[in-house]
Structure 1
Amino acid sequence: MVSNYTDSPTIAEVRTMSHSFGPSGLTEPPKQGVTVGYTCRLQAPERHKSFVRPDLLDLTLLNIMHHFKLREG
């Protein structure tokens, strides 16, 4: 679970690893959820997900697939 950093004076972005999951031979979504039901996944994460505070993004809103330019400071 991610803590609430909304009021943090120093944290603008939090990144977490992301795994790619395969169908594991299933034809329907698993009842117990993706991370438990799908056993076929890459051993090492190949990307990440980002959570950002929109108020701290650079005014240009420049971003490149999960990489955001933050304001100075």
Structure 2
Amino acid sequence: MKITIYRSKCIGCNYCVEAWPERWQMSKRDGKCVLIGGKKKGQVYQAEVGEYERKYNERAAEACPVNIIRIND
């Protein structure tokens, strides 16, 4: 499963961190979310994660008010 985040559009609401703090955190530098284990690919960050994380990251994606988190198989 792959998680993609369009970090430049993050508004720093912290909902993703509340949904799954083991994969998301807030940057002290700029107040935007950080995908733990994510690698920058152009304008997005991506991480390959195990299927066991699906429900938690889907919650993070659903909670995001600006819809910048994508979950793909």
Does the pair score TM above 0.5? Answer: no
TM-score by length of 2: 0.26
Structure with larger RCO (C-alpha < 8 A, sep 6+): 2
- The structure richer in strand per residue is 2
In terms of fraction of residues, the more helix-rich structure is 2
TM-score normalised to structure 1 length:
0.26
Q: Which has the larger radius of gyration?
A: 1
